[in-house]
Amino acid sequence: MNKNTLGILGLFILIFGITWASNENFANGYNMTNLVKWSSLYAIMGIGVAFVIITGGIDLSIGSVIGLVAALMALAIKQGWNPTLTVFLLLGLSLVIGLIHGLLITKVKLQPFVVTLCGLLFYRGISRWLTDNQTMQYPNTEGLDSFFSGKVGLFGQFSLPSPLFFLIVIAVLAAFFLNRTIWGRYLLALGNNEDGARYSGIQTDRLKITAYVICSFLAGVSGLLFAYELDSVQPAQTGEFYELYAIAAAVLGGCSLRGGQGAIFGVIIAAAVIRLLRNSINLVGISTHLEFAIIGLVILGGVTADELIKRIVAKRRTAQVNAAKS
């Protein structure tokens, strides 16, 4: 575990402790299950965007992809499509969306910000148009319901929500890919110095495209999870701004927007911090209007502290090296 992840874990424990101290119900099974559920949902988006951020890019279309997938799922069920088949088709669609982003960025050489900003607008518009902008409920599709939003009871009110299992599988695969495979190391190298990586023979374009495909795919998975969690889809609003929470989680979790840095575990804890804050604000009884201000402030504080720690560590290291030289 690197130093950054330790820092964010500390922040998590601190807020956890404060909230618990102010309200003993905080740690009960029902609330913990909810916290785990929402944190998992946010972390899945965060891991997706982390891959893109590691390459030095950005994906602003996550929320709209979530909205599109959720809306199409409801629409397809309404039209009598086979739900399971639709799930696969929608996951395929999100892969294609990522592929298009990647190709536009690497082959046409458009900036990621522009490509995904247009994506944000385009997918949102398409969802609204296809659904006639109507709120849609999720009818009972028993199997999928418990698959995406079910729970495995542990003891008392403690249980493991479906999104957690999704997160575990995704996180293990992502961490393995990033840390234990050559492509993962290439990805980090590419983020640090793209030209350098290319000159050493790394196929940077392919890696970048892969990052965008992973990101959109995970957005698609989140779309299904969110839709089943809420049992309702609003084409204009479902998923709106979620990309910002995802990016916040990735950055707070140790990804640098300059690229080349990232840790999956850090992103998961950071997503948990963001959700924990919301939970904490409600439980401590802070005015509902202050929510965004507090979340923004804590993220800013976290990132600033992280930057300062890095600088101090770097300074010490230089001092040690200099001392060793002389």
Partner 1 sequence: MIKKLTYIAGAMALVLAVGCGSEDSANTSGGGEAGANPKTKHKIAYVTNGIDPFWDLCAAGVRQAENELGGVECEVHFPPKGLADQKSILETLLAKGIKGIAVSPIDADGQTKFLNEVAAQTKLITHDADAPKSDRLVYIGTDNYKAGRALGQLVKEAIPDGGEVAIFVGRLEQLNARQRRQGVIDELLDRPSQALGQIKFDEVAKVFKGEKYTIVDTRTDNFVMDAAKSNAEDAITKYENLACMVGLFAYNPPRCLQAIKEAGKLGQIKVCGFDEDDALLQAIKDGHAYGTISQQPWKYGYESVRMLKGILDGDDSVVPASKFIDVGYKSVTAKNIDEFWAEKRKMTALGAKKD
Where do contacts with partner 1 occur on this chain (CB under 8 A)? 23, 25-26, 28, 30-31, 34, 38, 41, 128-129, 132-135, 137, 151, 157, 226, 229-232, 234-238, 240, 278-279, 282-283, 285-289
Query: Among residues 158 and 177, whose Cβ is nearest to partner 1?
Result: 158
Shortest CB 34 distance to partner 1, Å? 5
Query: Nearest distance from residue 245's CB to partner 1, in Å?
Result: 10
- DSSP for 232-265? EE-TTTTTTTHHHHHHHHHHHTT--TTSS---HH
* Rounded-to-integer distance, Cα 7 and Cα 254, Å: 10
| Residue 137: strand pairing partners | 232
CB of 169 to partner 1, least distance (A): 22
Q: How far is the CB of 142 from partner 1 (least distance, A)?
A: 16
- Judged by phi (left if over 0) then psi (alpha if -120 to 50, else beta), residue 132 lies in left
Residue length, the chain? 326
Nearest approach in angstroms of CB 171 to partner 1 is 21
Measured from the CB atom, is 41 or 115 closer to partner 1?
Answer: 41
Q: Give the nearest distance from C-beta 111 to partner 1 in angstroms.
A: 24
Closer of 231 and 307 to partner 1 (Cβ): 231
Question: Of 70 and 202, which has the nearer Cβ to partner 1?
Answer: 70
Instruction: Give φ, ψ of 325 to 5 degrees.
Output: -65, -45
Question: Cα 18 from chain centroid?
Answer: 25
Q: Please choose, from the candidates 137, 126, 124, the residue with its C-alpha nearest in 3D space to the C-alpha of residue 241.
A: 124
In the bound state with partner 1, the residue whose beta carbon lies nearer, of 38 and 51, is 38
Non-local CB neighbours of 208 within 8 Å, separated by 6+ positions: 55, 57, 102, 105, 106, 190
The least distance separating partner 1 from the CB of residue 309, rounded to whole angstroms, comes to: 31
Residues sharing a CB contact under 8 Å with residue 270, sequence separation 6 or more, in sequence order: 8, 46, 248, 249, 250, 251, 252, 253, 254, 302
SS3 159: strand
CB neighbours of residue 282 within 10 Å: 14
Nearer to partner 1 (CB atom), residue 113 or residue 129:
129
Name which of 2 and 232 has its Cβ closer to partner 1: 232
